[in-house]
Each structure stands twice: as structure tokens, then as C-alpha cells.
């Protein structure tokens, strides 16, 4: 890939999702649409599920590709409401932030990672909720989108007309972005591209920027912080500028790598 085709006046957004473990029955965040909600009256079954060997994921529906609702810590238990028709997923009761059980749809735990304890012989079959319409749309989006070189060239040329620095790169995000282990090794000549040797020209093109200390990439930052002037150096930024606007104005980068997620959960 030629260097010209790798330059963008825009943003590369990398979503990151963090997990949290609770010691007891975990709370549940809002977020289910009406079409995907399955409410079942919380009838005591005398059965519970506990992680068999380590912390396990509780998912919104059966399936290892389904969204994780919470992480159940090893040594904790959740009451079982029933199982799916295949008997390989347990439906478990979750609590709302107010501690009310049954006002949210059950979570689902895979039988091969969760150990059932108690009276679990005659559980009811519970039909899992259907995937929300947005799920199919999301699954259709490629992890690595197709990049049109002609479109990238148009973006680059527009950036040049706006006096964007074609060789400047900046970082926007939280501690993962600010870490010295993130991209610094490229400027320290401490890297091995392996089978991607054709990217060496790109590394050399942006040399010197991989150790750039971005005002918009700091430990603890989240999406809201990017817009808040309280987090900037008043000696460097305008009164109404947040870290993102100030960084863009001062650096005028052709490429911005964004990584957000854990601090926005």
C-alpha cells in the first residue's frame, strides 16, 4: 500500500469494551429494546449456577457471539430460571440497579462454563429473546471495512487545501492510547512487522510522531472529557477548547487514532 493511500484527514475509531466482575448478584444496565426483552416471573427453582473454574460471561442471549451483560466472578452464584431447549444454556436471574429481580430479561450462561448446583433436575424450558434488528445490521458490517484508495486520495487532497500536516499523527483516548507501549516502539526502532513488511514505508513516513504526547490522549479520559475545557492547559488552548479541539488546532494532524470504551461504560 502506498503511503499516499494511508493518509486520512479523519479519525480511526477503535471501540474497546471492558468487563466488570461483581462479587454477588450483578446489576444489569439498561439497553434492551422492546423486541428483544423477555420477562419471566422470578419463580424460585432451588437451582443456581456458579463459575466452574474462572470468571464467566453472562450474555444477553444464548451464543458465544452474543453481547456480554455482566461478568460473574468466580465463587459467586446466580439463581437459575430455566434452560433453553438444547439444555446447553442456563437462563439466570439478574438484578436491576435497585436490587429488583425479574424486572429485566434473564441473562444466559453456557452450561460448559457454569456449574449448576441445587435442585436443577426439572427446570423449565425458556425461549430466548430474538435478536434485535440492530444485531443483524451490526453483524453485516465487516471488522475491517473496504477502503477505497480514490476516496482516501480525495480526503487527503481536501486536507492539504485546509493546510493539514500530511505527516502529523495524534492520539485521542484513555490510558491505552497514552501508554508508552502503544506505538512508541516504532520511533524507538524496536519493532518487527513480520509478514507486513510493506508497511515499512508508512512507518518511516510518520517517523517522529509515534512518541507524540497528545493533549487528547491521557489516562482517565473519556468521550465527554474530550469536549470539556477544564481538562486543557490554559496556556496552550483557547478558553472554549476542550482537549480534542485544542489538539487538532495546534497539531493539525492528517491522522487521528481514537480508542475509547472502558471509561465510558
pLDDT tens digit at each of 265 positions of the chain: 444 333 333 333 333 222 233 333 333 333 333 333 333 344 467 888 989 888 888 988 898 888 888 888 888 888 888 899 999 999 988 765 444 444 456 789 999 998 888 888 888 898 887 777 676 676 677 777 777 889 889 988 999 999 999 999 999 998 888 888 888 999 999 999 999 999 999 999 999 999 999 999 998 888 888 999 999 999 999 999 999 999 999 999 999 998 887 666 5
With respect to CATH, is domain 31-131 assigned 3.30.2130.10?
A: no
Q: Give me the residue spans of the domains in the chain.
A: 3-16+145-264, 31-131
Which residues have a Cβ under 8 Å from the Cβ of 17 and sit 6 or more positions away?
Answer: 68, 261, 262, 265
pLDDT at 35: 32
Kindly give the pairing relationship between strand 253-260 and strand 10-15.
Answer: parallel
Question: How high does pLDDT run on average in the chain?
Answer: 77
pTM, two decimal places: 0.49
C-alpha cell, 43: 419463580
Convert 34-57 to b/e letters by CB count within 10 Å (16 or more is b). eebebeeeeeebebbbbbeeeebb
pLDDT at 18: 29
**Residues 15/264, Cβ–Cβ less than 8 Å:** no
How many Cα neighbours within 13 Å face the side chain of 251? 23
CA dist 211 and 169 (Å) reads 10
pLDDT single digits (tens) 173-229: 988 888 888 889 999 999 999 999 999 999 999 999 999 999 999 988 888 889 999
CA dist 116 and 120 (Å) reads 7
pLDDT at 3: 41
CA dist 133 and 115 (Å) reads 32
Amino acid at each position: 500500500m502506498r503511503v499516499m493511500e494511508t493518509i486520512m484527514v479523519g479519525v480511526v475509531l477503535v471501540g474497546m469494551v471492558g468487563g466488570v466482575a461483581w462479587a454477588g448478584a450483578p446489576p444489569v444496565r439498561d439497553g434492551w429494546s422492546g423486541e428483544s426483552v423477555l420477562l419471566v416471573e422470578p419463580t424460585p427453582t432451588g437451582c443456581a449456577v456458579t463459575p466452574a473454574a474462572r470468571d464467566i460471561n453472562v450474555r444477553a442471549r444464548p451464543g458465544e457471539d452474543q453481547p456480554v451483560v455482566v461478568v460473574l466472578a468466580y465463587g459467586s452464584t446466580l439463581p437459575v430460571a430455566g434452560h433453553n431447549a438444547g439444555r446447553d444454556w442456563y437462563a439466570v436471574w439478574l438484578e436491576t440497579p435497585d436490587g429488583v429481580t425479574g424486572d429485566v430479561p434473564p441473562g444466559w450462561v453456557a452450561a460448559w462454563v457454569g456449574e449448576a448446583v441445587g435442585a436443577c433436575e426439572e427446570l423449565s424450558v425458556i425461549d430466548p429473546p430474538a435478536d434485535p434488528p440492530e444485531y443483524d445490521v451490526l453483524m453485516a458490517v465487516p471488522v475491517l471495512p473496504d477502503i477505497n484508495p480514490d476516496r482516501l486520495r480525495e480526503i487527503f487532497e481536501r486536507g492539504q487545501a485546509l493546510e493539514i500536516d500530511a505527516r502529523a499523527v495524534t492520539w485521542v483516548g484513555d490510558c491505552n492510547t497514552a501508554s508508552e507501549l502503544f506505538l512508541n516502539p516504532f520511533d524507538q526502532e524496536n519493532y518487527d512487522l513480520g509478514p507486513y513488511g510493506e508497511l515499512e514505508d508508512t512507518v518511516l513516513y510518520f517517523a517522529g510522531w509515534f512518541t507524540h504526547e497528545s493533549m487528547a490522549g491521557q489516562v482517565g479520559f473519556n468521550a465527554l472529557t474530550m469536549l470539556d475545557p477544564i481538562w486543557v492547559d490554559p496556556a496552550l488552548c483557547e478558553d472554549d477548547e476542550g482537549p480534542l479541539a485544542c489538539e487538532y488546532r495546534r497539531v493539525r494532524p492528517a491522522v487521528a487514532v481514537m480508542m475509547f470504551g472502558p471509561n465510558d461504560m
